[in-house]
Structure 1
Amino acid sequence: MKQRLSTIETLPESALKHVRWMFDTISAKRMSQTDMLTEFNRRLQGIGLTGVSRSGLNRYVMKVRDGEVLRPKPAPADEGDDDASPVFSAAFRDRLAKAQGEKAVSVLEVTLKALAL
């Protein structure tokens, strides 16, 4: 039976770095859940999101400790992989951008990089 996603797992992409912080903190066992909840909610409120409940945090902690949740990964475009090899040669990318538009090329690059992971 599939479990429902926890509140933390349903947070928007804008909260991803804070969710990764939470995951790392849980894995390292560096803080009590009360302290984690206070800090995590402070971080969420700092980006304009509503905090999570104590029970929501506890469900996420249990999933992380049981190995049911992997460390959240950013979308390939968010990782700052500027030094990674380009998907297309510069000449081909220019021709493709002229034919399809810059946005289409960017979407295609992100998709191909994600498939390569």
Structure 2
Amino acid sequence: MVTKSSSDLARADSLAREIFSDVANKWALLIIEALGERTLRFGELRGEVEGISHKMLTQNLRMLERNGLLLRDVHPTVPPRVEYTLTAAGQGLRKTVDGMCDWTQRYLGHIEASRRRFDG
């Protein structure tokens, strides 16, 4: 049951703030964007998300799975084959991530110019 206190981002103890903190990090956003509508293995994801370490990818995949945003499918082979796919909730978040990517592309020049003025 969702209560006002559990969904209030302004409250330090709210579940909404915890979830927001989980998913609003660069690695989680990049993983969500990399998965898109595809199913990828760990190594494929690591190749798609440039600069992510094995440890950070593992931590973020576990967090996204815990929050119900992706499915982890383990195939009983030797060695085990593990695949990751976004859930419906993950796809919903991906729409927001896509909007953030669009915003970044649209305002990149503006932000670069502002940084030059500020730093100059």
More contact order relative to length (CA 8 Å, sep ≥ 6): 1
- Which is strand-richer, 1 or 2? 2
Is TM (by shorter chain) over 0.5? Answer: no
Q: What TM-score comes out, normalization by structure 1 length?
A: 0.38
Of structures 1 and 2, the larger Rg is shown by 1
